[in-house]
A and B are shown apart, each in its own frame.
Chain A
Amino acid sequence: MAALDLGRRTPALDAGQGLEKLATYPFCVLTWVDEDGYPVSVAVTATIDPATRTARFEAPAGPPLPGDAELSLTGSHIRPQPGYGYDERRHVTVWGRPTAAAGGRIVLTATRAWGWDEAEVPFFEYSERSSGQSRRYFDALSAERGTPVKPRLAFGSLVLRSTRLPFLSATIVPVLLGIAIAASDGFFDWPTALLTVLGAAFVHLGLNVSNDVFDTAQGADDANVTPTKFSGGSRVIQYGLVSFRQMATLATVFYLVAGVIGLVLLAVRGSTELLVIGAVGFVVSLGYTAPPLKFVYRGLGEIAVAIGFGPLMLLGAYVVQTRGALSWEPFVASLPIALLVALILYVNEIPDRRGDARAGKRTLPVRWSKSAVIAGYRLAAVAAYAIVAGGVVVGLLPWPALFALLTVPLALQVSRGLEPYYDNPYGLMAIMAVNIKVHLYVGLVLLAAYAAVLVAGAAAPSVDLFLG
């Protein structure tokens, strides 16, 4: 089926198409408005001819049909699912005027049709396309009451949704890894380690919220009608749960808190390296969607995320502990994390690609063909695992890091899932969830590998977990 126009909730149906759909139902519900002004409905069996745009049926006994007022014929279908409810929802209505035919039959000449079939427009997309109707409803209710009436969420849920808190794992993993590598090199300071985690988390939260602000300002979130749990932004502005101004304020607060923590870290563990990493990190974070940089709109979003959530997070955490000393080890450890976090964004951009294209967001899935996107995933995933293995072989990463290869089946699951679900945003959700696990598990394995290095260093200094 061709993609629906942005402004439509359901595909446009002319009377003939409506009748074609109606003909697939075993009976129709004939409805008219009686002389008292109430609708009245009777089930009828109709003979439908889409070519002549007519439906013929026996005049029902009982309440008289109106002479010339419009009637409707509705077909409705569900499939009951005991213990669950039902599925396979679809319905269609055609309207037209009746004329009497021979043998007491009625001929309805259809002029208009409307319907919804969840096989054509999935429920979640239909809901998303209807969010404007919800806004109009609340606006009207507010006007009626003379006071603002808004949709609500419990505070905890609203915080979770607005900030996209669960995605913080993408920050926590590289920061803890940087701290762990520094600790294995003999540098560790609890207070600044904690401050680093907090500072990085606030930068990430600032990024998440500012991303919604700037994507809304540039029309990208409004253009996306297939958001999922993992893609398409938090939608809190689109849903009227939080105002644009509130989100902008929240992003500012997050960045200010992150900035203050950064200044404290500079004051107590200052180094040129930390200053540079912090400054670049801020620019990459804010510039991800904010003008004038708008990395993600220029096709640089994946690279920005890879750099930001890979080397910058990991090396930043490392240099806080080492007071500026850098080494190849944390850089090499950051590369698989960088690739895998970029792949989270990359896969999450697949269901967004039509909306992104409409908004001028030139992500890789917008620019590349399906086969190129899938090949790109495979190449990057292979590179991530190859770097882990190579890092171990050359002695830059501890050998327990090889356990990261145990996640290869998950990456394969993602790779294989992209093909069948590429055009099914809701089917792709399970694949996106697995892809997030690939990044998380590889990060946790690397973290565990360095925990093993620390334990071995303390308990059995003669044991070397590095090859060569």
Chain B
Amino acid sequence: MATLPEPIEALLDVALVGELSVVDPTGRPVTYPLIPLYDGERIYLTSSTLFSRKLEHIKANPKVSLSLTDPIALGGRTDRATIQGDARVIEEDPHGGWERLLPIWEKKEPSIVYFLKERVALPLFFERSLIEITPRRALYWADGDPARPPVATDVPRKEAA
């Protein structure tokens, strides 16, 4: 079930890289470029345990945002968006749990499948946790111009079934 406005979903679908921002213990934002993976309801990002400081920050403060800003990483699109949401680190199985997102990942980065076959060469890179973002609010700049106010959309919270 879609939870975000269509143009933002379209951006998520094409984005090779977005900027995940988290809040560190001092209250300062820290931004990490990552591949966003969208399943139509939630946004996922994966983080190797090698680069897992962001996971520590999210566990301490789950409020995050993901911005999609770079036309080069967005297949030439010039519209932009920032999605604020609550993040959850899924780390029950860092070895293989993230592989359920491989089909979406492969569409954006086909080489990942080749590298995964060479897992023996890069074992820690493929020990990964998932970051699951439940969107709360989305800001959308149709022309990508920050001088114009974005269209803000609050994403309704759904009760757990």
> Is B127 in contact with A161, judged by CB distance below 8 angstroms?
no
Binds B, one of A27-35, A337-345, A377-385, A456-464: A27-35
The chain B residue sitting closest to A152, CB to CB, is B95
User: With A27-B69, A83-B110, A151-B49 in contact, do A43 and B64 touch (Cβ < 8 Å)?
Assistant: no
**What separation, in Å, do the CA atoms of A44 and B19 have in the docked complex?**
14
In the complex, what residues of B have CB within 8 A of residue A4's CB?
none
Task: Report yes or no: B65 in contact with A133, Cβ–Cβ below 8 A.
Answer: no
The answer to whether the Cβ of B156 comes within 8 Å of any Cβ in the partner chain is: no
Bound complex: CA A91 to CA B30 (Å) = 12
Q: How large is the interface on A (under 10, 10 to 19, 20 to 34, 35 or more residues)?
A: 35 or more
Interchain CA distance A39-B73 in the complex, whole Å: 21
Of B50, B63, B119, which contacts A134 at CB under 8 A?
B50
Is the Cβ of A151 less than 8 Å from the Cβ of B149? no
A41 touches B28 (CB 8 A): no
- CB within 8 Å: A-B pair count: 179
Closest residue of chain B to A71, judged by CB? B29
A134-B30 in contact given A39-B63, A76-B70, A78-B72 (Cβ < 8 Å): no
Nearest B residue (CB) for A41: B67
Chain A 364-400 against B: per-residue CB contact (8 Å), 1 yes, 0 no? Answer: 0000000000000000000000000000000000000
B27 contact from A69, A127, A152, Cβ within 8 A: A69
Contact B21 A151 (CB under 8 A): no
Partner-contacting stretch, out of A54-62, A263-271, A302-310, A313-321: A54-62
Q: How far is the CA of A435 from the CA of B73 in the complex (A)?
A: 40
State the CA gap A38–B64 with chains docked (Å). 6
Q: Are B146 and A43 in contact (CB under 8 A)?
A: yes
A346 located at the interface, meaning its Cβ lies under 8 Å from any Cβ of chain B in the complex? no
B118-135: contact bitstring with A at CB < 8 Å (1 yes, 0 no)?
011111110100000000
B9 within 8 A of A: no
Task: Please indicate the chain A residues that have their CB under 8 angstroms from the CB of B33 in the complex.
Answer: 76, 78, 89, 91
Shortest C-beta distance, B67 to chain A (Å), equals 4
Once bound together, how far apart are the Cα atoms of A74 and B82, in whole Å?
14
Instruction: Give the CA-CA distance A95 to B31 in the complex, in Å.
Output: 11
Chain B contacts for A298, CB-based, 8 A? none
Interface centre among B50, B85, B119 (most CB of A within 10 A): B50
**Cβ-closest chain A residue relative to B76:** A80
A61-B146, A72-B30 known; A134 vs B52 contact (CB < 8 Å): yes
User: A86: which B residues are within 8 A, CB to CB?
Assistant: 16-17, 73, 109
Rounded to whole Å, the gap between the CB of B112 and the closest CB of chain A is: 7
Chain B, range 102-122, C-beta contacts under 8 Å to A: 108-112, 119-122
What 1/0 flags go to A170-206 for Cβ under 8 Å of B?
A: 0000000000000000000000000000000000000
Kindly identify which residue among A27, A62, A74, A124 contacts B31, using a CB–CB cutoff of 8 Å.
A74
- B contact face: mostly helix, strand, loop, or mixed: mixed
CA distance A91 to B51 in the complex (A): 14
Q: What residues of chain B lie closer than 8 Å to A77, measured between beta carbons?
A: 72
- A85 contacts B146, CB within 8 Å? no
With A39-B63, A40-B65, A70-B28 already in contact, the answer to whether A33 and B49 are too (CB < 8 A) is no
A127-B122 in contact (CB<8A): yes
Measured between beta carbons, the chain B residues less than 8 angstroms from A58 are 146-147
A85 x B108 contact (CB < 8 A):
yes
Q: How far is the CB of B125 from chain A (nearest CB, A)?
A: 6
Minimum distance in angstroms from A436 CB to a CB of chain B? 16
Fill in one digit per residue for B66-87: 1 if any A CB lies within 8 Å of its CB, else 0: 0101101101000010101100
A36 — which chain B residues lie within 8 A by C-beta?
A: 63, 84
In the bound complex, CA of A230 to CA of B105 (Å)? 30
Q: Which among B69, B80, B139 is the interface contact of A40 at CB below 8 angstroms? A: B139
Interface of B toward A, CB cutoff 8 Å: 16-17, 19, 21-23, 27-31, 33, 48-53, 55-56, 61, 63-65, 67, 69-70, 72-73, 75, 80, 82, 84-85, 91, 94-95, 108-112, 119-125, 127, 136-137, 139, 141, 144, 146-150, 152
For the A-B complex with A39-B65, A85-B108, A127-B50 known, give 6 more contacts whose Cβ atoms are closer than 8 Å: A27-B69, A29-B67, A38-B84, A58-B147, A76-B17, A93-B30
10 residue pairs, one from A and one from B, having the closest CB atoms? A85-B109, A41-B67, A39-B21, A60-B146, A130-B50, A157-B120, A134-B49, A38-B84, A43-B69, A39-B65
- 15 chain-A/chain-B pairs, Cβ below 8 angstroms: A32-B29, A36-B63, A37-B63, A39-B65, A40-B65, A41-B19, A61-B149, A62-B139, A62-B152, A76-B33, A79-B72, A93-B30, A134-B50, A151-B94, A157-B120
| Chain A interface (Cβ < 8 Å from any Cβ of B) | 27, 29, 31-34, 36-44, 58, 60-63, 69-72, 74, 76-80, 83-86, 89, 91, 93, 95, 124, 127, 130-131, 133-134, 136-138, 140-141, 149, 151-154, 157, 160-161, 229, 239, 241
